[in-house]
Amino acid sequence: MRELTDRALDTAARRGATYADVRIVRRLDESISVKSGRLEGASSGESEGFGVRVLVDGAWGFAASHRLETPEIDRVAAEAVRIARASATALRRAVALDDRPAAHGTYETPVAEDPFTVPLEAKIGDLLAADAAMNRVKGLAYTESMYAAQREWKTFAASDGSFTEQTITHVGSAVEANAVDGDEHQRRSYPDNGGGWQAAGYEHVRRLDLLGNAEAYADEAVALLSAPQCPPGRRTIVLDPSQLYMQIHESCGHPTELDRVFGTEASYAGTSFLTTDKLESGFRYGSDLVTIVADATAAGGMGTFGWDDEGVAAQSVPLIREGILAGYLTSRETAPRIGRRSGGAMRADGWNRIPLIRMTNINLLPVAGMSLDDIVADTDDGLYLAQCRSWSIDDRRLNFQFATEVAYEIKGGRKGRLLKNPTYTGITYELWRSCDAVGDASSYRMLGTPNCGKGEPGQAGHIGHAVSGARFRNVQVGVLD
Amino acid sequence: MGSTPPGEWLAVAERVVALAMAAGATEAEALVSADDAQLTRFANSEIHQNVAETSVGCNLRFVVGKRIGVASTGRLHDDGLRRLVERAGAIARHVEELEDWAGLPEPAGPILDLPAAFATGTASSSPEERAAGARAVIAAADAAGVTAYGSFATTTERLAVANSRDVRAAGERTWSQLITVSMGPDGGTGYAESAAVDATAIDAAALGREAAAKARATAAARPIEPGDYPVVLEEYAVVDLLDMLGYLGFSALAVQEERSFVEIGKRVGSDLVTIWDDGADPAGLPMAFDYEGLAKRRVSLIDHGVCRGLVYDAQTAARAGVHSTGHGLPAPNPYGPFPLNMLMAPGTTPRDELIGGLDRGLLVTRFHYTNPVHPKLAIVTGMTRDGTFLVEGGRIVAPVRNLRFTQSYLEAIAGVSAVASERRTLKGFLGGVVVPAVRIDAFTFTGATEH
């Protein structure tokens, strides 16, 4: 590998690059889907290629190819330099990277049971068993069960002498029960809307215990058909981890991406209300209970690695500290502009994409004192909302609206009847300022999303979110007609 | 290698089919997709990201009786193809039978030669030409005192499909897209976009002027109460209507799984709404055949407000006892067939006169981050973005802050009261879309934001 990376870096330098890095990535993935007791499909994918990123005259260029051959490496490195020169014809601020120690070493996701060596029929069997458990419930329209795994071997080298090799393994599995009555379609899924992903081996799938959970979720899908509509109004809401992680993803993770703040995603995903003047002024983002970190070292998170795709070592960065904006997700290019060092959040989706600032593991830290059950017991009148079903947020990440699969009425500190079609909406900082309880470590768990979209051309990010559940007061709950 | 002609990729596909059959497949299909794609991105009135890639992928459906294994690879050397066949074969031997498997498709009619699908101006586009396009947008922004953001993309796609039932298809197509958001110093934003087969047909300066003028016009937007308003939706917003209706309803699989709103013969839109899919229409981004190698047929989806048809791939067509319409996506594909070339019929109202019909309503430039809340009723939530205006007495009177809507898209198309006589070609969620601006009698806004 070193021969290939050296070749790319040498060619780039000879052509005039003042900085260059190259990533060679091989990715293996597999997926299995079961629908209503029938294996719907199984597939396996493999890809390989390399991408060369260069700085010339203060401007970026990037080129990538699937052909790992010397002449192609020369061509692609030269093309990257040519592209950078073209970029320089429309440049107003020359790129300046922060210093970081050259990166060297290897990293590998801890895996107890390699998902790629577990026999295919065993994995199919586990899914079919969970699917069958759901289908013991009468009244379902269809069920879906999925398993997927991805492994990436990534070699990174840069013109400052950095050279790292990483093997990252992610695995996910989930079940979903769907009940339909006329225009009414209700679903319950476990363990989360994103597919139950973690950085782990097949041991994670076993821990999820899809079989043991499937029937109860299927029961609820059917029960929701005849449940009352969730009534509208200003309410106290308790968000289960299966919903809270998406609230954090959309309303904290994305707006703290410093490239968004600087406008570099403006034409696609949008910008951010968390402008840098708010960092200087100590903007109150949430209540004192709200402490959120970007932790690329967290166990099991899909945002966990050894080094980011600029060779910056994994670290934990405070984003919100006791309710106050404390930092951003940063890169070597953006961090110096706020007087900081890169927090190591540059991640690329495969060999043919440039690294962008991406979430790592954006975690709401648990607060000692009340378990999630205690929070419910402490709530006289409210709603317990679980499992994200629909999400939308404006281009500055202020006005959001979420729908969840289910609401449980809370009366007198007890979870009661099911309510269907719950939605809630608000303004990001108003919601987080209304947070008056965060669950302790007993319900703290790592969830994640494998399909966070960003960038042009589009990239899908694997993001982790560890959460324990939280309560919010006076939130606008709306209902479908 | 990226410029390898489609015929040579077809040879690769045929070789993979032969390898699969030799390895024990009873049927096999190989899809080779090779792209040369470039994208120049600008923000803060400078180019900040600028990329190019040469990529290839081969998808194999390895069939043993009624058992289907799917594998893909981007490694087309001998070892990569050998592993591809091994992986697909191993899956096929371990999975259960697909009871209603109808077999891979057979050739079904000639595949049209579509010269309009390919333009040298896109295929040979250089970094310097894309940078020039970005500079033209930036110059327009500079002239208006606003800041430019956006991207200029060029792509050449080469596709080859072969299967063991004699399907053979190979071709190449190009598309290009320029989008831009302008931001003014006092908070105003504007948007413009164009998509075309030929990158040289895109007038970057004109798009820059359009977005810049709107950014100026939306300065100091004022708040407005959410509620029901009649609206004029510009083409950029109408694309989302078609995309979402396509995603939620027009696929035969969605109907077979009873999650679609479509019932053939049922009225869902006003008389003014006619939507179809046509891969051959040069007004869009043409595509001669689908990812199963079958010729794309024109499909009427909604005709004067009435549901008329669905798009099918081979499997959903067999279930329904009809022929594929040539709308298959690459396997494995849980979403089923998809209309990749949607068009909406123009109306008779000059575009500039649409707002003339609003006593008091809103002009909406585009939507942002839309997501279904109730799929079967096509109830969708999302935000307005980059240019929302209050219209009174048929005239724009003020820019307003962005609003959240929660709206049935079916009720929206039922409420269409005017359709513009002009259309734009834009890039939708998955393919090219040709749409006019429309006026809708009522649209439900359920929230507001701070900008």
pLDDT in tens, chain B (451 residues): 446 788 899 999 999 999 999 999 999 999 999 999 999 999 999 999 999 999 999 999 999 999 999 999 999 999 999 999 999 999 999 888 888 899 999 998 899 999 999 999 999 999 999 999 999 999 999 999 999 999 999 999 999 999 999 999 999 999 999 999 999 998 899 999 999 999 999 999 999 999 999 999 999 999 999 999 999 999 999 999 999 999 999 999 999 988 899 999 999 999 999 999 999 999 999 999 999 999 999 999 999 999 999 999 999 999 999 999 999 999 888 789 999 999 999 999 999 999 998 999 999 999 999 999 988 899 999 999 999 999 999 999 999 999 999 999 999 999 999 999 999 999 998 899 999 999 999 999 999 898 9
Interface test with B, best of A97, A117, A254, A392 (most B CBs within 10 A): A392
Whether A269 has a pLDDT exceeding 80, the answer reads: yes
Closest among A161, A459, A156 to A307, alpha carbons compared: A156
Residues 432-471 of A with CB under 8 A from B: 456-457
**Angstrom distance (rounded) from CA B212 to CA B198:** 24
pLDDT given at position A479: 58
Amino acid at B245: L
CB B30 within 8 A of CB B14: yes
Write the DSSP string, B85-145. HHHHHHHHHHSPP-TT---SPPP-SPPPP-GGG--HHHHT--HHHHHHHHHHHHHHHHHHT
* Complex confidence, ipTM: 0.95
The residues facing A449 across adjacent strands are A463
What would the DSSP string read from start to end of B346-388?
A: --SB-GGGGGGG-SEEEEEEEEEEEEEEEGGGTEEEEEEEEEE
CB contact under 8 A, A86 and B131: yes
**Strand B379-392 versus strand B395-399 pairing type:** antiparallel
Q: Which residue among B90, B179, B450 sits closest to A267, beta carbon to beta carbon?
A: B179
CB contact A141 to B (< 8 Å): yes
B375 touching A, CB under 8 A? yes
Q: What is the pLDDT of residue B333?
A: 81
Q: Are A349 and A154 in contact (CB under 8 A)?
A: no
Q: Which of A64, A264, A352 is nearest residue B43 as measured by Cβ atoms?
A: A264
The shortest C-alpha distance from B38 to chain A (Å) reads 9
C-beta atoms of A83 and B50 within 8 A: yes
Decide if B127 and A263 are in contact by the 8 Å CB cutoff: no
For the entire predicted model, the pTM comes to 0.96
Query: What share of chain A in percent tops pLDDT 70?
Result: 99
pLDDT of residue A481: 45
Beta B395-399 vs B360-374: how paired, if at all? unpaired
Using the Cβ of A281 and the Cβ atoms of chain B, whether some distance falls under 8 Å is answered with: no
Contact between B53 and A352 using a beta-carbon 8 Å cutoff: yes
Whether the CB-CB separation of B176 and B426 falls below 8 Å is answered with: no
N- to C-terminal Cα separation, chain B = 48
Question: Exposed, middle or buried, A337 (CB in 10 Å: 0-12/13-18/19+)?
Answer: middle
Q: How high is the mean pLDDT of chain A?
A: 96
Going by the DSSP 8-state scheme, the letter that residue A257 receives in this structure is: B
Q: Does B13 lie at the interface with A, CB-CB under 8 angstroms? A: no
Interface test with chain A among B4, B31, B40, B47, by most A beta carbons within 10 Å: B47
CB-CB contact of A143 with A131 (8 Å)? yes
Instruction: Tell me whether residues B331 and A41 touch, CB distance under 8 A.
Output: yes
Render pLDDT for A163-203 as a digit per residue (tens, 0 to 9): 999 999 999 999 999 999 988 999 999 998 889 999 999 99
Single-letter residue type at A361: N
Q: What's the Cα-to-Cα distance from B93 to each of B87, B97, B143, rounded to whole Å?
A: 10, 10, 65
* d(C-alpha A13, C-alpha A296), whole Å: 31
In the stretch 100-159 of chain B, residues with CB closer than 8 A to chain A read 126-128, 130-131, 134-135, 138, 147, 149-151, 153
Closest-CA distance, A141 to chain B, in angstroms, reads: 9
pLDDT, tens digit, for every residue of A465-480?
Answer: 999 999 999 999 995 4
Note whether B180 contacts A: Cβ–Cβ < 8 A.
yes
| Token pair in block for residue A330 | 């940063």
How crowded is the C-beta side of B39, counted as CA atoms within 13 Å? 20
Task: Identify all chain A residues contacting B70, using CB atoms and an 8 Å cutoff.
Answer: 41-44
Among the partner residues A72, A391, A456, nearest to B39 by beta-carbon distance: A456
